[in-house]
Amino acid sequence: MKIETVDFFYLAMPEITTAADGSQDALVVRVTAGGFIGWGECEAAPLPSIAAFICPMSHGACQPVQNAVLGQPLDGPADIARIAAQVEYDCMDLLQAAHTWSGIEMALWDLLGKVRSEPIWKLLGYGRSFRKTPYASQLFGDTPQETLERGRRSRSDGFRAVKFGWGPIGRGAVDADADHFVAAREGLGSDGILLVDVGQVFGEDVERAARRIPALEAARATWLEEPFAASAYGEYAALAARTSVKMAGGEGAHNFHMARNLIDYGNIGFVQIDCGRIGGIGPAKRVADHAAAKGVTYVNHTFTSNLALSASLQPFAGVEDSALCEFPVALKSLAVDLTTNHIQRDADGEIAAPDAPGLGIDIDLTALETYRVEVEIAIQGKIVFRSPVAA
């Protein structure tokens, strides 16, 4: 069969805020081939991602993503890898191609799984899908009291692990940050798994980050996520050498090589890969394999819909030792309404990649209309993109 169409649905909440909440908008991808439909989701600003697919060629190393995708044969995983290599070569680093391709790539895996009536993790070569311990992924409160209450609420909701992210951390005094870490630990209880994400707030300033280490160690944080810019490998390694708290990062990796460098040279203990940014499920699986060989724990990264959550679980579904997984708990209605089914925790509070064809997640076509952002792109009077019809 051949790839016939690729459609992009730009969705958004009525109001977009500056909160570090990736569920406020979405770019959903629909691919058709051989009478089958696959769905994926890009994790990037929707308009640049659409533009990368349809923009006019700038030169030989800056071609639109569609040139390498439409009309291509799709009969197995090797075809997805072949198309990925062509996209990378045709676009290099001159477009937001990796993000655009990520959503398409997910959709191709989803479609291929439906054709073969197998979940993606089986197509990746895994014999079984191990259950994972989900951590409630949420933001720090504006005050330590709010952080305390969020921690308590997550524990009462049955989560043994909680990640607190962004918020005021790193933007004020060291003591103020320490109060949040204390509050988070108190809210989780002594046996809870505390994870801290500071969203690259320290840039490349190792000393400023290091001043938070004593409080993090006292709070018994399992990891410190993204203290620095995504490619600041030396800074990651320098801070890792000064603390027992493991460094975590990788969501900013746009290809396998960036993630490998963070593992090999950044000395991180946890590598967190977003399938909507790295180029899809295939390169994420490659990172999972490399991480296992290096003794580094693979963790999914996702903060959008259950479609993206399922995709994020596939690359390490069969890795028993990598047992933690991100599980967004404060999603906007867009991300909740987008799918008709959701990945639920079992009686033990665990989740697993769906044991169903493809991603195992169904799109609610009504939501594609409810949250639709009408887009029309024209060049010299010729329309090159118009928002597709959902039905």
Question: Which fold would CATH assign to domain 3-118+364-386?
Answer: Enolase-like; domain 1 (3.30.390)
Mind listing the pLDDT tens digit of every residue in the chain (391 residues)?
999 999 999 999 998 888 777 888 999 999 999 999 999 999 989 999 999 999 998 887 789 999 999 999 999 999 999 999 999 999 887 788 999 999 999 999 999 999 999 999 999 999 999 999 999 988 999 999 999 999 999 999 999 999 999 999 999 999 999 999 999 999 999 999 999 999 999 999 999 999 999 999 999 999 999 999 999 999 999 999 999 999 999 999 999 999 999 999 999 999 999 999 999 999 999 999 999 999 999 999 998 899 999 999 999 999 999 999 999 887 889 999 999 999 999 999 999 999 999 999 999 999 999 999 999 999 999 999 999 998 7
pLDDT score, position 165: 92
Length of the chain: 391
Instruction: Write the DSSP assignment of 86-121 as a string of letters.
Output: HHHHHHTTSSSHHHHHHHHHHHHHHHHHHHHT-BHH
CA dihedral 70, 372, 40, 22 (to 10 degrees): 130
Query: How confident is the model over 77-119, as pLDDT tens digits?
Result: 999 999 999 999 998 877 889 999 999 999 999 999 999 999 9
Domain 123-337: which CATH number of 3.20.20.120, 3.50.30.30, 3.40.50.2020, 3.30.450.40: 3.20.20.120
Q: What residue spans in the chain does CATH classification 3.30.390.10 cover?
A: 3-118+364-386
Longest dimension (CA), the chain: 63
The pTM of this model reads: 0.94
Query: How confident is the model over 239-267, as pLDDT tens digits?
Result: 999 999 999 999 999 999 999 999 999 99
| CB-CB neighbours of 361 under 10 Å | 23
